[in-house]
Protein backbone atom coordinates (compact mmCIF):
# COMPACT_ATOMS: atom_id res chain seq x y z
CA UNK A 1 0.00 0.00 0.00
CA UNK A 2 2.86 2.34 0.82
CA UNK A 3 4.34 1.75 -2.65
CA UNK A 4 1.07 2.81 -4.27
CA UNK A 5 0.95 6.04 -2.23
CA UNK A 6 4.58 6.81 -3.02
CA UNK A 7 3.95 6.16 -6.72
CA UNK A 8 0.90 8.43 -6.71
CA UNK A 9 2.88 11.14 -4.91
CA UNK A 10 5.71 10.96 -7.47
CA UNK A 11 3.23 11.10 -10.37
CA UNK A 12 1.50 14.08 -8.79
CA UNK A 13 4.80 15.91 -8.34
CA UNK A 14 5.89 15.13 -11.90
CA UNK A 15 2.63 16.42 -13.32
CA UNK A 16 2.96 19.63 -11.30
CA UNK A 17 6.56 20.13 -12.41
CA UNK A 18 5.86 19.45 -16.07
CA UNK A 19 2.82 21.73 -16.28
CA UNK A 20 3.30 24.41 -18.92
CA UNK A 21 3.27 28.01 -17.70
CA UNK A 22 1.67 30.87 -19.60
CA UNK A 23 3.89 33.75 -20.65
CA UNK A 24 1.46 36.08 -18.92
CA UNK A 25 2.09 34.26 -15.61
CA UNK A 26 5.87 34.50 -16.08
CA UNK A 27 5.79 38.22 -16.84
CA UNK A 28 3.27 39.14 -14.15
CA UNK A 29 5.13 37.20 -11.41
CA UNK A 30 8.78 37.11 -12.52
CA UNK A 31 10.19 36.74 -9.00
CA UNK A 32 8.31 33.47 -8.56
CA UNK A 33 9.92 31.89 -11.64
CA UNK A 34 13.34 33.60 -11.74
CA UNK A 35 16.10 31.02 -12.21
CA UNK A 36 13.63 28.13 -12.40
CA UNK A 37 12.96 25.64 -15.17
CA UNK A 38 9.74 26.53 -17.00
CA UNK A 39 7.75 24.97 -19.83
CA UNK A 40 5.90 27.29 -22.21
CA UNK A 41 4.04 26.89 -25.47
CA UNK A 42 3.38 29.46 -28.16
CA UNK A 43 3.90 30.73 -31.68
CA UNK A 44 7.35 31.76 -32.88
CA UNK A 45 7.17 35.33 -34.21
CA UNK A 46 9.35 38.08 -35.62
CA UNK A 47 12.88 37.42 -36.85
CA UNK A 48 15.82 35.28 -35.84
CA UNK A 49 18.82 37.18 -34.51
CA UNK A 50 21.96 35.06 -34.59
CA UNK A 51 24.92 35.31 -32.25
CA UNK A 52 28.05 33.27 -31.54
CA UNK A 53 26.62 30.23 -29.80
CA UNK A 54 22.89 30.63 -30.28
CA UNK A 55 20.10 32.81 -31.56
CA UNK A 56 17.22 34.93 -30.35
CA UNK A 57 13.62 34.39 -31.38
CA UNK A 58 10.37 35.56 -29.77
CA UNK A 59 7.50 33.39 -28.62
CA UNK A 60 3.91 34.68 -28.43
CA UNK A 61 1.15 33.29 -26.20
CA UNK A 62 -2.23 35.00 -25.70
CA UNK A 63 -0.95 38.43 -26.71
CA UNK A 64 2.21 38.24 -24.57
CA UNK A 65 5.69 37.72 -26.03
CA UNK A 66 9.13 37.04 -24.57
CA UNK A 67 12.58 36.44 -26.02
CA UNK A 68 14.05 32.96 -26.20
CA UNK A 69 17.79 32.25 -26.26
CA UNK A 70 18.06 29.03 -28.25
CA UNK A 71 21.14 26.87 -29.02
CA UNK A 72 22.33 27.19 -32.63
CA UNK A 73 21.69 23.46 -33.21
CA UNK A 74 17.91 24.04 -33.01
CA UNK A 75 17.73 26.70 -35.75
CA UNK A 76 17.11 24.26 -38.61
CA UNK A 77 13.90 23.04 -36.93
CA UNK A 78 12.20 26.42 -37.50
CA UNK A 79 10.37 26.80 -40.81
CA UNK A 80 7.82 29.59 -40.18
CA UNK A 81 8.01 32.76 -38.07
CA UNK A 82 4.73 34.55 -37.44
CA UNK A 83 4.03 37.91 -39.06
CA UNK A 84 1.39 39.40 -41.35
CA UNK A 85 0.14 36.64 -43.63
CA UNK A 86 2.16 33.90 -41.91
CA UNK A 87 1.31 31.76 -38.89
CA UNK A 88 4.53 30.84 -37.09
CA UNK A 89 5.54 27.38 -35.91
CA UNK A 90 3.83 26.47 -32.63
CA UNK A 91 6.42 25.18 -30.15
CA UNK A 92 6.79 23.76 -26.67
CA UNK A 93 10.00 24.80 -24.96
CA UNK A 94 11.66 23.97 -21.69
CA UNK A 95 14.25 26.33 -20.31
CA UNK A 96 15.45 28.53 -17.48
CA UNK A 97 13.52 31.76 -16.98
CA UNK A 98 15.55 34.88 -16.19
CA UNK A 99 13.87 37.96 -14.76
CA UNK A 100 17.00 39.98 -15.56
CA UNK A 101 19.50 37.94 -17.51
CA UNK A 102 23.06 39.03 -16.70
CA UNK A 103 24.31 37.28 -19.83
CA UNK A 104 21.98 39.32 -22.07
CA UNK A 105 22.07 42.93 -20.79
CA UNK A 106 19.44 42.45 -18.08
CA UNK A 107 16.61 41.50 -20.44
CA UNK A 108 13.87 39.12 -19.36
CA UNK A 109 14.33 35.88 -21.29
CA UNK A 110 14.22 32.09 -21.32
CA UNK A 111 17.35 30.05 -22.04
CA UNK A 112 15.98 27.06 -23.95
CA UNK A 113 17.22 23.56 -23.19
CA UNK A 114 14.47 21.58 -24.97
CA UNK A 115 12.83 22.79 -28.18
CA UNK A 116 9.91 20.89 -29.73
CA UNK A 117 7.77 21.81 -32.74
CA UNK A 118 4.15 20.94 -31.90
CA UNK A 119 2.49 22.30 -35.03
CA UNK A 120 4.14 23.53 -38.21
CA UNK A 121 3.25 27.09 -39.24
CA UNK A 122 1.77 28.06 -42.60
CA UNK A 123 0.92 30.87 -44.97
CA UNK A 124 -2.46 32.43 -44.27
CA UNK A 125 -4.65 33.38 -47.19
CA UNK A 126 -6.41 36.63 -46.46
CA UNK A 127 -10.15 36.60 -47.01
CA UNK A 128 -11.74 39.91 -47.91
CA UNK A 129 -15.38 40.15 -46.85
CA UNK A 130 -17.77 40.90 -49.70
CA UNK A 131 -19.08 43.96 -47.83
CA UNK A 132 -15.62 45.56 -47.89
CA UNK A 133 -15.22 44.93 -51.61
CA UNK A 134 -18.64 46.45 -52.36
CA UNK A 135 -17.89 49.43 -50.09
CA UNK A 136 -14.52 50.10 -51.78
CA UNK A 137 -16.04 49.82 -55.26
CA UNK A 138 -18.93 52.15 -54.30
CA UNK A 139 -16.54 54.67 -52.76
CA UNK A 140 -14.52 54.66 -55.99
CA UNK A 141 -17.63 55.37 -58.08
CA UNK A 142 -18.74 58.19 -55.75
CA UNK A 143 -15.23 59.70 -55.86
CA UNK A 144 -15.12 59.62 -59.68
CA UNK A 145 -18.59 61.20 -59.84
CA UNK A 146 -17.52 63.97 -57.42
CA UNK A 147 -14.38 64.68 -59.48
CA UNK A 148 -16.47 64.82 -62.67
CA UNK A 149 -18.98 67.22 -61.14
CA UNK A 150 -16.22 69.48 -59.79
CA UNK A 151 -14.55 69.48 -63.21
CA UNK A 152 -17.81 70.48 -64.95
CA UNK A 153 -18.55 73.20 -62.40
CA UNK A 154 -15.06 74.68 -62.62
CA UNK A 155 -15.26 74.96 -66.45
CA UNK A 156 -18.89 76.18 -66.59
CA UNK A 157 -18.12 79.74 -65.53
CA UNK A 158 -14.89 80.26 -67.50
CA UNK A 159 -14.85 81.65 -71.07
CA UNK A 160 -13.96 79.25 -73.91
CA UNK A 161 -10.37 79.28 -75.09
CA UNK A 162 -9.83 80.31 -78.73
CA UNK A 163 -6.92 78.90 -80.62
Question: What residues pair up with 66 in beta bridges, in sequence order?
Answer: 59
pLDDT per residue as tens digits for the range 4-13: 655 544 444 4
Reported confidence tier of residue 52, pLDDT bands at 50, 70, 90 = confident
pLDDT reading at 106 higher than 90: no
pLDDT of residue 16: 47
CATH top class, domain 20-123: mainly beta
pLDDT reading at 20 higher than 90: no
pLDDT of residue 2: 64
Separation CA 59–CA 28 (nearest Å)? 16
pLDDT per residue as tens digits for the range 113-158: 999 999 999 999 888 888 998 999 999 999 999 999 998 888 776 6
4 versus 108: the higher-pLDDT residue is 108
Separation CA 132–CA 100 (nearest Å)? 46
Mean residue pLDDT across the chain: 86
Domain positions in the chain are 20-123, 127-157
pLDDT of residue 32: 92
In this structure, are residues 96 and 35 in contact, taking their beta carbons and an 8 Å threshold?
yes
Return the closest-CA partner of residue 58 out of 31, 84, 89: 89
Return the closest-CA partner of residue 65 out of 104, 106, 18, 22: 22
In this structure, are residues 45 and 29 in contact, taking their beta carbons and an 8 Å threshold?
no
End-to-end CA distance of the chain, in Å? 113
Amino acid sequence: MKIIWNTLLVLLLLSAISKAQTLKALISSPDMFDGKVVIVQGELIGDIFSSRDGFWVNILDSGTAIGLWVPESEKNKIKFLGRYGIEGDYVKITGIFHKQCVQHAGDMDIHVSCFEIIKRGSYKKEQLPLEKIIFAFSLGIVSLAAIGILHLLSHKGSPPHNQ
